[in-house]
Amino acid sequence: MAASTVGALGSVLVVAGTWAAAAAPLDAPPRATELIAGSPAGCAMGPLQLSGFEVADGYLKAPNTGATTHHQFYFARAMYSEGGRFGFFGRGDSWLGDGGPGWSTDYPSADRHMMIVAKRLSNLDACEWGQPVSLADPDLRRFPFLYSLEWGRNADLSEPEIEGLRSFLAAGGLLMLDDFWGSQEWANVEYQITRVLPNRPIVDIPLSHVLFRAHYTIEGPIIQVPGAGGGIYGRGTSQRDGYDPIVKGVFDDEGRIMIAVYGNTDLGDALEWAEDPMYPLEFSTYASKLFLNTIMYAMTY
């Protein structure tokens, strides 16, 4: 069984393919009705499964081989290697969530809140628990949608992760990037994307694009969604020199969005803090709509 090491997890090995080892490989990520065999464990209730390692109370545990429940959609969150190419360094060890490795920021609250919203506001049969999965895991291709954040401060993808993500995107998957701020962080996001798709430009997604009508009609201007510091404590909506929200994409030859890039904004925080009465409702509502539109687009195109 293949294995890869995620830098932010230190000595912890992420074992690839554990929860779907018995399933045949797929030529493309599953659409809404195809994810039956090999579904991730831990959906009906926690603890969750993380590319073979169970997560309980925020810590990595031994794999769980218990019964699974099957759903049409799983919220996949990308685990990636971290580094300090632009002066930032990986953080955390075995703790997941805020204060842990960058890929786990806002986890699991943001993932779970989004899936509860999706079940209430659409006919999507969604697993209510997030599913962290390594970019180097061959079973990444089982998911049509993949969420990842904080690439600006943290991402330093390994070669197996680059190959895995490139394969996922070529097979029809969509990667949603969120939560990076300012020109310095944008430089690393751009660099990591070009490592994965070196011949694909990163371009603006116009408001006329079907993405903004995939479930809700989202009209301009694009709203900058603040993190908890700005939303709850009134520190403003922007961070560093990220004054204007970014909505960009990388498209395939058929015009399908492969990577949706939401920068100078923090959609994940808006979901994580959605139940806090101090966090403005307008931002959590907007973030939920943009998330759901992106998910529906990934499930449709």
Ordered by start, the domain boundaries in the chain are: 3-21+48-300
Q: Would you state the pLDDT for residue 230?
A: 59
For residues 130 and 107, the answer to whether their CB atoms sit within 8 Å is: yes
Rg (CA), the chain: 18
pLDDT at 46 over 90: no
The neighbouring-strand residues paired with 251 are: 257
Percent of the chain with pLDDT over 70: 69
Strand ranges for the chain from DSSP E: 3-5, 13-15, 48-50, 53-56, 59-61, 76-79, 131-134, 145-149, 174-178, 203-204, 246-251, 257-263
Which CATH superfamily includes the segment(s) 3-21+48-300?
Answer: Domain of unknown function DUF4159 (3.40.50.12140)
Handedness of CA 149, 151, 153, 157 (dihedral sign): positive
Written as six digits, the tokens of 126 are 């969604």
For residue range 163-217, list pLDDT tens digits in order. Answer: 999 999 999 999 999 999 999 999 999 999 999 999 999 999 999 999 999 999 9
- Residues contacting residue 68 through CB under 8 Å, at least 6 positions apart: 19, 39, 40, 41, 42, 43
Task: Kindly report whether the peptide bond that precedes residue 277 is cis, defined as omega within 30 degrees of 0.
Answer: no
Q: Would you state the pLDDT for residue 122?
A: 93
Tell me the one-letter amino acid at 7. Answer: G
Average pLDDT, the chain: 77
CA dihedral 278, 279, 281, 286 (to 10 degrees): 180
Instruction: For residue 57, count CB atoms less than 10 angstroms from its CB and return exposed for 0-12, middle for 13-18, buried for 19 or more.
Output: exposed
Q: Would you state the pLDDT for residue 23?
A: 28
Written as six digits, the tokens of 67 are 């019964």
Residue 98's Cβ-side half-sphere holds a number of Cα atoms within 13 Å equal to 9
Residue 238: which pLDDT band, with cuts at 50, 70 and 90? low
pLDDT at 227 over 90: no
Distance in angstroms (rounded) separating the CA atoms of residues 108 and 74: 13
